[in-house]
């Protein structure tokens, strides 16, 4: 585990399973139609139940870069934030990743959440490079803190695989 303080938030980088994190919300790397396919979305649906997908799809479609909130089904957190980091083509870019990250952070602010866990948005089926993703998402957290008061105290990045973990950890170590 690696961490960085961006007062008042602690940014934590862990390798693991996002569906078992001890946080108030987890973020789903969603498409703008909000159906849950494979990767992080599939794991959330499998562990939390299909009601999460039904709740999400009832709120869609949404604009790419936006997000919606659902219950967490049978998962141990309060809610799931579905950040539309891609359209139905399942492709993404730095702008969409940044907007989706900021939108998810704003949903957390609106719900007075103190902790949130993100996957590396867009790096699975979206095919976006992990190093660029780390830079974009960490900058979005910095921008969120700079934008004003936030109830968040922890932003956790839960990475799948050692390479992803080491890439995010290096981004923190390099002062991002």
Per-residue confidence (pLDDT) for residue 112, from 0 to 100: 97
Task: Return per-residue pLDDT of the chain as tens, 176 residues.
Answer: 888 888 899 999 999 999 999 999 999 999 999 999 888 999 999 999 999 999 999 999 999 999 999 999 999 999 999 999 999 888 999 999 999 999 999 999 999 999 999 999 999 988 999 999 999 999 999 999 999 899 999 999 999 999 999 999 999 888 65
Q: Where are the domains of the chain?
A: 2-173
Structure tokens at 87: 């359209």
Q: How far apart are CA 128 and CA 12, in angstroms?
A: 21
Per-residue confidence (pLDDT) for residue 1, from 0 to 100: 82
Report the b/e string of 144-174 with b at 16+ CB within 10 A.
bbeeeebebebbbbbbbeeebbbbbbebbee
Q: How far apart are CA 24 and CA 31, in angstroms?
A: 22
Per-residue confidence (pLDDT) for residue 176, from 0 to 100: 58
Helix (H, G, I), strand (E, B) or coil at 81: strand
How, if at all, do strands 79-86 and 67-71 pair? antiparallel
Per-residue confidence (pLDDT) for residue 81, from 0 to 100: 98
Q: What is the pTM of this model?
A: 0.96
- CATH topology (fold) of 2-173: 3.40.220
């Amino acid at each position: 585990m690696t961490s960085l303080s961006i007062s008042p938030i602690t940014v934590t980088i862990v390798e693991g399973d996002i569906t078992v994190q001890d946080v108030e919300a987890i973020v789903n790397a969603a498409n703008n139609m909000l159906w849950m396919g494979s990767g992080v979305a599939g794991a959330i649906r499998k562990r939390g139940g299909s009601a999460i997908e039904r709740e999400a799809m009832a709120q869609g479609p949404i604009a790419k870069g936006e997000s919606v909130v659902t219950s967490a089904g049978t998962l141990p957190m309060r809610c799931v934030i579905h950040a539309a980091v891609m359209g139905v083509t399942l492709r993404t870019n730095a702008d969409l990743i940044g907007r989706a990250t900021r939108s998810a952070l704003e949903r957390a602010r609106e719900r007075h959440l103190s902790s949130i866990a993100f996957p590396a948005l867009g790096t699975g089926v979206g095919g976006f490079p992990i190093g660029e993703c780390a830079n974009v998402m960490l900058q979005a957290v910095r921008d969120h803190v700079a934008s004003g008061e936030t109830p968040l105290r922890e932003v956790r990045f839960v990475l799948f695989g050692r390479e992803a973990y080491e890439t995010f950890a290096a981004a923190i170590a390099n002062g991002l």
